[in-house]
Structures are given as structure tokens and as C-alpha cells.
A and B are shown apart, each in its own frame.
Chain A
Amino acid sequence: MAQLLSADLTNRGLVLDPRSKLALMLSIVFFTMGGVGSDIKAVILISKLLGLVPIILLLTAKQWKRALAYGGAYAVLTLVSLELLPVLNGGIKIILTICCIGVLRFMPGLIMGAYILSSTTVSEFIAAFHRMHIPQQITIPLSVMFRFFPTVMEEMQAINSAMKMRDIRLFGKNAGKLIEYRLIPMLVCSVNIGQELSAAALTRGLSNKKKRTNICRIGFHLQDIAAFVTALLPAAVMICNRFGVIA
């Protein structure tokens, strides 16, 4: 979680504009995961291929470990559902089927998510939202949120350590307490840090009255055209089909 949107700028391979990434993501959640247009053979085929795009993207971003892990998991699950499930029977088959179908359905989106979160920086993302004319009322809280994730995680860890040292074991006691003991100090500490953070931001002139400049450089390149074509392909095929161009 602490690594969200904090790409290593010096070594991240092929750079796509965040907007291209979003377009691909939308296409994946609609067609590959959402199953839109799955009454058309060509769309099914394309959306299945689209499901593999995130793994390729992870490779272009030099995220070797992630690509291997996700690609491997994807392959194993596909193999299990194609080869193992048909020969199984009974309860185990139901459980495995639910797992495979559920996870396989979510995987392309999750891998794409992993790609976006590991290959983009917060500034790039906010810059992209700027260009898309998404108002500051959304972009400012969004950047604060990404800034604050690692802080919340740090607080969690500190509280976990404290609980270990105090040897607080609540098994047997009220399970609700277990959550309460973690949640309350976490909230108190995070909110306090949050208050200091907003004071600091205000003294640096953050306000909602002026339009902020954004100096982060993003823009479209050749690879973005490829990304957009890929993203639009299933929709295009579907529209063509509706008008009877492709069967």
C-alpha cells in the first residue's frame, strides 16, 4: 500500500500517458471483466486477449517480478479451470470453481491496477486529471489521499508494535475490543498528523480559489496511440457488429 503511485522515475521502461492507462483500464473493466458484448464471438476473443495486455504492460514497465507473479497466477488458474476442474467432482469442484471463476474474472483488472499503481506517480496522475478538466475539488483531496496512505500505514505499524510489546492478546476476550484497540489510537494519531498537514498546506498557499499550475509533464506519444487503439478495439468491433459489418 505504501508503494501506491510512486514509480521509480529513473528506471521504469516504456512510459504511457496516465490517460491511456485509464482508457485501457476502462476497456478491461467493461469488456474483459464486465462481459459487455459477450454475445459476439469476436468481442469475446478480443476481450480475452485484452486480459493479457496488463501483463505485457508490466513487462514494458520493467516490473519483472510483478509480471511473473501475476502472469504465473493467471496461467495456473486458467490451467486449473481448463484441465483440473472437468475431472473433479463434488464439493471440492464447487469450491474450486467459485475460486477460479471469481479470481479469473477479477484478475485482468487487478493486474491492470497493479500496473497503473506501480508505473505512475501521483503528480502524473493529478496532471492527467487536470488535463481531463476534472475539478480541483476532486484532484486536491485525491492527492492528499495518496500522500496520506503511507502515513496511515506507518501509524498502523507503530500501533502493532506497541500492541506486541504490551502483549495484548484478546482471543477469548471480546473480539470487538481487538478492533477498537487498533482503530482508536490509529484515528487519533492520523487525525493529529492530518491537522498539522493541513496547517502546513495552507501556509503554502493551497486554496480552492485560484486554479493551480501543474508543472508535471505528461503527453501522448506513439505508444499511447497503440494503447488507445487497443482500448477502443472491442467497442469498435461491437459497434460494427451492431451495424452488421462484422458477424
Chain B
Amino acid sequence: MKEKLNGKDLINIGIFSAIYFVIVFITAMLGMVPILYPMLTVICPLVGGVVYMLFLTRVKKFGMIWIMSILMGILMLISGMSWYALAIGVFSGLIADLIFKSGNYGSSVKGVVSHAVFSLWIFGNFLLFYLNHDSYMKTREEMVGKEYVDKLNSLLPMWSWVILLAATLIFGLIGGMIGKAMLKKHLSKAGIA
């Protein structure tokens, strides 16, 4: 903690962010059908877990997880997905970092939990649907009629954000555990974990 991040740490953050993002992004492309959007809170944390857990083997100082989370947010912002991922990521990344730090950067249980919290940036992308939802939908009513807007709302009701949040956290935990298992099964034998 007292030690500042050095060049090697910063490069590691960049490398793992790139791998993590490419994998999550390619998975997300599979769910590009808008109806499957919500499923991304399940799939993305599942596949991202391996990369994240491998990243944690490089994390020995405070700040690395936090910065990675911010980078995800910046990517989302400049690619025009949403700014909520950045807003959420700044906080969830900090908390994820503190969780892993509390295990002295070595506890795999805390690592798994920290992955669940880290995954919240994925959930952040969905906030767009909930915040300012009513006023946005009102402008759509003219297009499709009130009846259908109501039907839409019943498909994705306002309280459904709780489900998405829970899904992100739960599958974040599962993804973290899968990642841990993969490290043991393959990566430590390959000499990179």
C-alpha cells in the first residue's frame, strides 16, 4: 500500500484490461439481440472471471483493480455505450480493491468476492434503462401507443434492476470460482499463474 505502483504494475493493468475487455466484448456480441441484453449480466461475469482471477495473481498493491475498473468505464464512455459504467466502476472498483486488499492480496475467497463487486460495471451499463425511464418512455408513447409501452414496462419492470444486480453479483461469484478452478487446472501448470 505504501509502495507506489511501478511501471510493471501499470503495464500489467493495461494488458489484463485488454484481454478482459476483448473476451467480455466478444461474449457480449453474442447477446447483441436486444431481447437477450439482460442475459449479459449472467454471461459476462462468467467468462470474465478467468481473466480477472489471473490478473489478481499480479496484484500486490493497492490501486490496480481500481484502475482497471476505471479503464472499463472510460472504454464504455468513449465507445458510447453509457457513462454509468464509469460512474459505477469508480466506486465498485475501489470497493473490489479494498476487499482484495483486506485479504492481504492472497486470499482466494476474497478474490472471488472482489470479482463479484468488480463485475458491477457490467450492471452499470443497464442503468440507462432505469434512470429517466419514465420520461424517456413518454416520448416513445407517441410512436407505438400507450398500450405497448405498458407491455414493455411489464417485460422490463422498474424493479427488475434488482434481479440484474443480483445476477451480476451471483454470477460474478460463480465466475470467480470457475476462474480459480481454471488457474489450478491449466494456468499454474503453464507457468503463468
Chain A interface residues toward B at CB < 8 A: 1, 22, 25-26, 28-30, 33-36, 38-39, 44, 81-82, 85-86, 93-95, 97-99, 101-103, 105-106, 108-114, 116-117, 125, 136-138, 140-149, 151-153, 156, 179-180, 183-184, 186-188, 190-192, 194, 197-198, 201-202, 206-209
Contact = CB atoms under 8 A, between A and B. Distances in A.
Contact of B80 (A35, A113, A149): A113
B71 A141 contact: yes
A187 B192 contact: yes
Contacts of B12: 194, 198
A75 to B, nearest CB: 15
B8 A180 contact: no
Contacts, number: 201
B22 A149 contact: yes
Contact of B67 (A85, A97, A141, A207): A141
B113 interface: no
A148 B15 contact: yes
Q: At the interface, is chain B mostly helix, strand, loop or mixed?
A: helix
A108 to B, nearest CB: 8
A122 to B, nearest CB: 11
B120 interface: no
Interface of B: 4-8, 10-19, 21-23, 25-26, 34-35, 37, 47, 50-51, 54, 63, 67-68, 70-71, 74-75, 77-83, 128, 131-133, 135-136, 138-140, 143-145, 148, 151-152, 155, 182, 186-187, 190, 192
Nearest to A207: B7
Nearest 8 A-B pairs (CB), nearest first? A144-B14, A113-B80, A109-B80, A148-B18, A35-B136, A194-B15, A113-B79, A141-B14
Contacts of B75: 145
Contact of B74 (A39, A103, A142): A142
17 contacts: A29-B82, A33-B128, A36-B132, A82-B143, A94-B151, A98-B34, A102-B34, A110-B79, A116-B80, A141-B14, A156-B26, A183-B23, A183-B47, A183-B50, A188-B186, A190-B19, A197-B11
